[in-house]
């Protein structure tokens, strides 16, 4: 899912994580820049399609490019006041767990988990290489694993 799909489904979009103190979480005011970066990659891909279609003598498919997504976003959230119990964190293609200072990693730095669940209540992982299967670390396989993690979260609410 991309930003526009998530926004259309009513999910609040925020900028990049900037830190936390107590029950406050801070975010950069950079959501527009993130969306613009994704839009630029889409334009690159569309140009590649157009070039390929031209090379094989076909008309490129029509595509109505979306307007820039500009939303007013919050830069601070009070977790306790909002009643937030679950955070879904996505960080891209390279694992970087340096911000997690909990004893949930093996000697190579990979999360110790079973079906995404760790020994720390409320801490889950997704997209971990060989989380469950070879495809766990790629977009194609994440849906299967996400369903298990979501079921576990639902089953463990107080």
CA distances from 3 to 7, 10, 12, 39, 61 (A): 6, 11, 10, 10, 23
Q: What is the pLDDT along the chain (158 residues), one digit of tens a residue?
A: 678 888 999 989 999 889 889 989 999 999 999 899 888 888 888 888 899 999 999 998 888 888 889 999 999 999 999 988 877 666 665 677 888 889 999 988 889 999 888 999 889 988 887 788 777 777 777 788 888 888 888 886 54
76 beta partners: 26
3-state secondary structure of 155: helix
Provide the sign of the torsion angle of the four alpha carbons 143, 145, 147, 153, taken in this order: negative
* pTM for the predicted model, two decimal places: 0.53
d(CA 110, CA 130): 11
């Amino acid at each position: 899912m991309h930003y526009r799909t998530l926004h259309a489904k009513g999910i609040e979009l925020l900028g990049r994580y900037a830190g936390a103190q107590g029950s406050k979480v801070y975010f950069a005011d950079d959501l527009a820049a993130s969306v613009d970066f994704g839009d630029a990659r889409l334009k690159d891909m569309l140009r590649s399609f157009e070039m390929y279609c031209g090379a094989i003598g076909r008309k490129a498919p029509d595509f109505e490019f979306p307007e820039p997504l500009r939303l007013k976003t919050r830069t601070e959230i009070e977790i306790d006041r909002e009643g937030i119990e679950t955070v879904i964190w996505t960080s891209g293609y390279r694992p970087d767990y340096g911000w997690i200072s909990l004893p949930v990693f093996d000697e190579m730095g990979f999360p110790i988990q079973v079906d995404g669940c760790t020994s720390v209540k409320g801490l889950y992982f997704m997209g971990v290489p060989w989380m469950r299967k070879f495809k766990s670390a790629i977009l194609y396989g994440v849906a299967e694993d996400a369903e298990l993690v979501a079921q576990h979260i639902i089953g463990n609410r107080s």
